[in-house]
Amino acid sequence: MTSPGAGSTLQEGNPSERPLFRGRIGRDARSGHYAVPHRYRLHLSTACPDGLRLAVAHSLLALDDSCPVTFLPAEPDHPGGGYAALYPLYEASAHHYAGPALAPVLSDDWSGRIVSTHAPDILRDLDRFPREGNAARLYPAGTEDVAEAVERMCAEGVEEAAQRAGRADADPAERAAALEVLLDTLARLENRLTGERYLVDDRLTAADIDLFVTLVQLDTVHRCHLDAGAVHRIAGHRALWAYARRLAAHPAFGRHLDLDGIARRHHGRCAGLEAAGAAVQILDWAGHAADAPDTFGR
């Protein structure tokens, strides 16, 4: 991994996985990549969980003018995999690059190269961009530990557990154990949200973005592979889903929900069997997003 602000470095891994660039944006000109307006650009698809996280964060931080976004289709459009629009960036950033050009990407318009493809780093670096007045911060001082804890709970206790619970080729006992992990995690999140508007100090932070996107995935993707009884138990966390409903009606969240794109991406990538839970939608995401006001409320 490169140090903050250093030039991006391509980290090798499994050839079937996305190439990982880990450049970071620093705080001043000495860092190489530093947070200056009109230098960087995001490339993302909101049908992808990481892309949706970054789109919501970008809107909350009001970075439209200082860091523009190129929105990509739900599914890659290049015969070799990835997005045709991103190949010049990958080829300029890695000698003789021959892999897929995948999103999300944070690029440097000054050099025409990639800074990072690592969504958690990009999310934190967007928070470093200069803004006027009392603009929102995704990682307010003293909240980093909570944000990281929620990030782990979403990744391991919800996303991974839901995938294991819905695997058609898994042992029934393994699926049942995974479902209990999922329900236990949801119960802990439910307890934290009971009587609270947001996860941290009654203000929107990166933790809320992580949880919102995780709940979208749970209801639009993972639900399709769970039985109706499991979905009913998941839906029983009323404070959690009321929170998701409220965020869906916030324009920074709701306007980026591409439900058709999420469905196309899921069906294009998933080889699992559809279960009875596919017919039991927990939230009317599109309806709640349509209720969002024209102006942002923080």
More confident residue, 294 or 148: 148
The reported pLDDT for the residue numbered 297 is 42
- In which residue ranges of the chain is CATH 3.40.30.10 found? 10-126
Token pair of 276, please?
Answer: 């009875």
pLDDT tens digits along 251-264:
999 999 999 999 99
The reported pLDDT for the residue numbered 56 is 98
pLDDT tens digits along 195-232:
999 999 889 999 999 999 999 999 999 999 999 999 99
Cβ distance 108 to 33 under 8 Å? yes
pLDDT tens digits along 180-202:
999 999 999 999 999 999 999 88
Pick the CATH number of 144-290 from 1.10.357.10, 1.20.1050.10, 1.10.167.10, 3.40.50.460: 1.20.1050.10
Query: How far is CA 103 from each of CA 21, 73, 141, rounded to the nearest angstrom?
Result: 11, 10, 29
Residue 59, C-beta contacts closer than 8 angstroms, at least 6 positions apart: 251, 252, 255, 256, 296
pLDDT tens digits along 44-88:
999 999 999 999 999 999 999 899 999 999 999 988 789 999 999
Assign domain 10-126 to its CATH architecture.
3-Layer(aba) Sandwich (3.40)
The reported pLDDT for the residue numbered 39 is 93
Residue 13 has pLDDT above 60, yes or no: no
Residue 12 has pLDDT above 50, yes or no: no
Cβ distance 115 to 20 under 8 Å? no
pLDDT tens digits along 116-153:
999 999 999 999 887 766 667 899 988 889 999 999 99
pLDDT tens digits along 89-114:
999 999 888 889 999 999 999 999 99
> What is the average per-residue pLDDT within 165-170?
88
Token pair of 71, please?
Answer: 């929105």
More confident residue, 148 or 170: 148
The reported pLDDT for the residue numbered 273 is 65
| pTM, rounded to two decimals | 0.89
